[in-house]
Structure 1
């Protein structure tokens, strides 16, 4: 289905934070919080820095773990696994929670951004290779955040028993009966098969990503694996002994606040979780018990270890440790030959808290690139816009402004009694001056009458405006309904709609996104069906 692509600055959408728009504008106040701005000319230096720090052992560990994860990989993914074994190959990474059936649209937009940028980097640097990577957040334990999704106005939820452990390990017991059987019959078979053929939520999410993006060579990684956690041991040791990440974040937070920006995530004294024998993911909390002994408690358990015991555990069983939001990016960058992380506005904000954390652990800090954002307008909705005299870019403006524009196009007379109000105020001012000369006690009476007359005139203006609007009530109702359709609940479509709402009627949607997205252009995309 053919589409027309236009763009507009993120600031003009009214949907993004000042931190993001200031970053895209390269405001000097934010320069200390990132390494290199995501521009094509800056990637050569990023490659040089990463290549110097990323060892052959790290690459061998990564490829070995990925081959174990995949077993037999689809053709394009296998080709990229072979490339990852080469010292001239880098990754372009995005990450996301294990949302059911891909969750909101921006999951798709993140991955398409990574695939498209990988292609563009290959064109600019043909002597190197670039592999798009989707980092599954399999160790998150907030099941309530991911156990549902919306499609065609209906919410689908999975009511599973969750022990509070990594969601990627959740067995799919009851998933087919509870959720898959309730889906509309038009849902492509791949969405059913990914879950029906998998044992855990992590496996199902990877298989669905393979089905949607495997032909483009997307490599999906589940880092909740003992072999990969071995690479995290030096970070674990330093965090346990020195607790450096919290100090680094707190110092950065103070500088962000001084620059006028609010920190996005909360840092803790130890930014690690411990995965218990029962499979729960609990925080590590330090307790000072005397000058020579610091014990660390595993929250909600009876476990307590001194520093040496905890270090021994980290060295022997690093898979029992799990990074929180502060150290997860460090773990990612230790494992991958990565150049750039692609994330949403909130992710960009919390990555800006982490530059000094990376420095503390001696890990190169990647570029941070906002993912592509988009508004998809179906043929039916595009037709409605045209009938109202609007286009896809204009629909982002506030509803009152749009009503005014539509009213003008329909010939509605603009009602304003501003001049009459001014004349009335001038007349009463003359009366008030006269009262002041003849009897000052009447000044308050005149002022009260002036206020009453002004209020009456304002009321007449509203009634006249309503009478004028009534002539075009149908058009305004259509505009209001269209605005709500394209911006559900007043927010961006991409934050609530599922890809199936488009893919069912437009199977070529992902290819259209690949054609339309320009990750380094840093503009919001509007796709309209023609």
Structure 2
């Protein structure tokens, strides 16, 4: 298949109307938000972050050993990935991390966009700081237990769903029960089918998929659900159980953000930890002087719970408040790449990081994109629209299109005034000759006015019918590019585009500039 050339257009995030005030303010370096992060992400700021991030050789060895164990699930490791794994042992190697749930078949497109943003950031950093090594990392949210969020994906407009009654952390789910879904697919997708059929669980399958898709770029995928890695979290676990430290700090910061008009993205608990086993992940709560695991009969004294943490650190799972801290404790990380809501909730965590004396990473908004296929680009050009026009709502676009069709609103107001003036002359004449005729003239004048109104409606309707097909094409184009009225990247799946364009991922890697902070529009050219 021939390589398709792409036309690239970049627009401001604010111009899309799809991003929060928090994010648009952040991208403008608003003074109000500056107390809630460390450095704004620029190539120069990474230099400062390199000096602030400390990571010992012992930490590097623990990380390397854990990753090597995790990568034994793959029969063959791409040399570029192995090189990056080994580089993590070097004191001048740092990571740029993104994270996401284990959506089946990669879920919405932004999963892919996050990873490419991390890859491209490392590429730019390598050029700027050649004396260091930079490794792109995908943090797999293996401990997440919200299966309903990851068990489906949309392919060519049709939803496919994985049905299973397994419970607990999704990374531990066996993928055997995916077989009915795999048989339902419209065609063969070897990368995914082999991963789900040959892996023992969803974490291993997701690692296999990201390795197949991004191994050539050196992407390292990490699973935080690991006993040795969890030991780094023990001081945090102890503080959570004894003093509920994170809740106090995060609530203080959230209140400050709210005062400035920024809505908190996540809410803290008194204890921001879950208890984790093979079949459950439930919140730990303090009740009546005991530490209980919700929806179970498990109950511990403080001493018993602290002992449990020492003996089984893998049973303690951080929630959304503590997961970022855990990540920064076990990685030599410089920057975290997330979507708008993720970046916004990191703002709530600044005091927490300061308390634990952990460097607060640079916060980067992932690249966002609209991908316009050749057929949709053709429709767009026939309608004489530019890519940036497409972000307007349908009614606004319809008005714009009407203007481009050189059609003003149909109105017979001037003709009505002329007819009324003519009847006024007739009325004067009638009054001079026979005043009893004035009423008849008035009646005829009203008839004429009514006839003009009816003709105006008929002409307008005829005009609308004439261009009904054009407006229908516009509506279809909007539905294709903004499924369900939202950004394409939040609904459509990688395979929807990669099936017809095998160079989809390389095209994205070529187009995305992670530090430009512009929305990218990619248009296939004929």
Q: Shared fold (TM-score greater than 0.5)?
A: yes
Which whole-Å CA distance do the structure 2 matches of 1:300 and 1:18 have between them? 38
How much does 1:306 deviate? Answer: 2.0
Match for 1:35 among 34, 38, 56? Answer: 38
- 1:272 and 2:267 equivalent? no
The alpha-carbon distance between structure 1 residues 75 and 254, as it changes in their structure 2 partners (threshold 3 A), is same
Offset at residue 512 of structure 1 (A): 0.6
Secondary structure at the counterpart of residue 16 of structure 1: coil
Match of 1:80 in 2: 84
Write the deviation string for residues 396-455 of structure 1: whole angstroms up to 9, x where unpaired: 1122221122222222223479999xxxxxxxxxxxxxxxxxxxxxxxxxxxxxxxxxxx
Contact kept, 8 Å, 1:188 with 1:504, in 2: the verdict is: no
Secondary structure at the aligned position of 1:352 is classed as helix
Q: Does 1:395 find its partner at 2:397?
A: no
Structural mapping, 1:123-142, within 5 Å: 123-142=127-146
CA positional deviation for 1:158: 0.8
Q: 2:466 aligns to what?
A: 471
The answer to whether residue 28 in structure 2 is matched with residue 20 in structure 1 is no
What is aligned with 2:100? 96
Q: Map of 1:227-242 to 2, 5 A cutoff?
A: 227-242=228-243
Shift of the 82–297 alpha-carbon distance from structure 1 to 2, 3 Å rule, reads same
**Which residue in the other structure is 1:282 paired with?**
282
**Match of 2:387, SS?**
coil
Runs of 4+ in 1 over 6 A off after TM superposition: 416-420, 457-464
Q: What residue ranges of structure 2 are gaps of 5+ in the alignment? A: 416-451
Give the structure with higher Rg (CA).
Answer: 2
**1:113-124 matched pairs, under 5 angstroms:** 113-124=117-128
Matched, 1:339 2:334: yes
SS at match of 2:32: helix
Q: 1:92 to 1:465 in 2, by over 3 A?
A: farther
Question: Cα distance, 1:174 vs. partner?
Answer: 2.3
Matching of residues 124-203 of structure 1 within 5 Å: 124-163=128-167, 165-176=168-179, 178-185=180-187, 187-203=188-204
Distance in 1 (alpha carbons) for counterparts of 2:137 and 2:456: 59
- Which of 347, 357, 360 is residue 355 of structure 2 equivalent to? 360
Mean alpha-carbon deviation: is it higher for 504-513 or for 71-80? 71-80
Shift of 1:193: 1.1
Matched with 2:66 is 65
Q: Please, which of 103, 109, 115 is the counterpart of residue 113 of structure 2? A: 109
Q: Per-residue displacement from partner, 1:310-347 (whole Å, max 9, x unpaired)? A: 11111121101000000001110001000000000110
Structure 1 residue 492 displacement after superposition: 0.4
- Map of 2:250 onto structure 1: 249
Contact persistence 2:8–2:521 (CA under 8 A): yes
TM-score by length of 2: 0.89
CA distance in 2, matches of 1:17, 1:371: 14
CA-CA distance at 1:47 after TM superposition: 0.8
Give the aligned partner of residue 429 of structure 1: none
Q: Equivalences for 1:358-507 in 2 at 5 Å?
A: 358-415=353-410, 466-507=461-502
For structure 1, the 5+ residue unaligned runs are 421-456
Distance in 2 (CA, whole Å) between partners of 1:46 and 1:273 is 31
Against the structure 1 CA distance between its residues 301 and 486, is the aligned structure 2 distance closer, same or farther, given a 3 Å change threshold? same
Residue 467 of structure 1: how far off its partner (Å):
4.7
**For residue 424 of structure 1, what is the aligned residue in structure 2?**
none
1:205 corresponds in structure 2 to: 206
Structure 2 counterpart of 1:434: none
| 1:49 maps to which of 52, 55, 78 | 52
CA distance in 1, matches of 2:172, 2:5: 41
Match of 2:316 among 313, 321, 326: 321
